[in-house]
Amino acid sequence: MESRDVPLTEGGLPLPPSPAPDWALFLDVDGCLLDFAQHPSQVVVPVHLQRDIVRLSDLLGGALALVSGRSLESIDEMFGELRALPAAGMHGLERREPDGRRTFPPIAPQALDGVYAEARQLAMSHPGAIIERKGPNLALHWRAAPEARDALRAFAAAALRVLPDYRAQGGDMVLELRPGGSSPDKGTAVEGFMAQAPFRGRTPVFVGDDLTDEHAFSIVNACEGFSVLVGDRHPSAARWRLPNPAAVRDWLARATLGAHDGVHA
C-alpha cells in the first residue's frame, strides 16, 4: 500500500487513492472536513458536504464514521443529515455505535467548575482567547489570540494540580484538559468501530489534521490501512496527504461522482 508511483504532494507524501469498496472510512471534522474559524461555533458546513458523506457511506455499506474532538451534540448540530451515522466525540470519550447505542463520557469532577471559571477570567485578559467546556473536557483556544498561548499553557499546568486524574492534550492552537489514565482517544475509537459490523474486516482509513489524530494514524498503519494527513504538520505517522480541507471535500465528492464504477472516482 506504500507505492510511491503516485503523485506526491508538496509535503512529500503521496496523494491517497480514491475510496475503495472495502474501506472503512473515518473522518475528522475541524481542519479536515471543515476549514477552521476563529471560534468553533463559526465554522461553515458547505451545502454539498453532507450529501456527499451520506452517499459515500451508502457506497461503503455504512462503514463511515466521524471522529472528532467536538461533542456528539455539536457534531449533530452542524451535520443534521448525518445524525444516523456512527460517530465518536470528545476524542473518543463518547461514541454513537452503528446500531445507535451511545457510549457516554465520564462525569466531570466538581473541581472542573472552578477551573472553568478561572479560565474564563484569564481569557478576559486576552481578547480572542476562547474557553470551551465539553462535558468533562476543557479546551483552551488561542487561534484568535496567539499572544495568549503561554498564559493558557501555564494555566493548564497549574490546573492539573487540582485535577490530578487529568492530562493536557495538545492540538492545533488549543490545549485540552481531559481525563487521563487509560481514557479513550481517537485510536481506541477506531479500534472500537473496527471490531463490529459494518466496519469489521475492512481496510481502515483515517483522515485528519491534528496531533490528536496521531493515535488513529498509528492504529490504521498497524492494520495496513491508509493514514491521511490534512495539511503539512510535521512530524506525523501519516503516510498519505491531502493539502487542505477543500482538497478533502473534493476527494470525497469525486468518489461519489464515480459511483457508477463501484466507488472509485
Residue with cell 448525518: 82
Q: Name the burial class of residue 127, with classes exposed (0-12), middle (13-18) and buried (19+) by CB atoms within 10 angstroms of its CB.
A: exposed
CB crowding 7-40: b at 16 or more within 10 Å, else e: eebebebbbbbbbbeebbbbbbbbbbbbeeeeeb
Q: How far is residue 106's CA from residue 29's CA, in Å, rounded to a whole number? A: 22
> What grid cell was written down for 193?
468501530
Q: How far is residue 125's CA from residue 27's CA, in Å, rounded to a whole number? A: 35
CB crowding 223-244: b at 16 or more within 10 Å, else e: bebbbbbbbebeebbbbbbbee
Q: Which of 22, 28, 113, 165 is catalytic?
A: 28
Catalytic annotation on 210? no
Catalytically active residues are 28
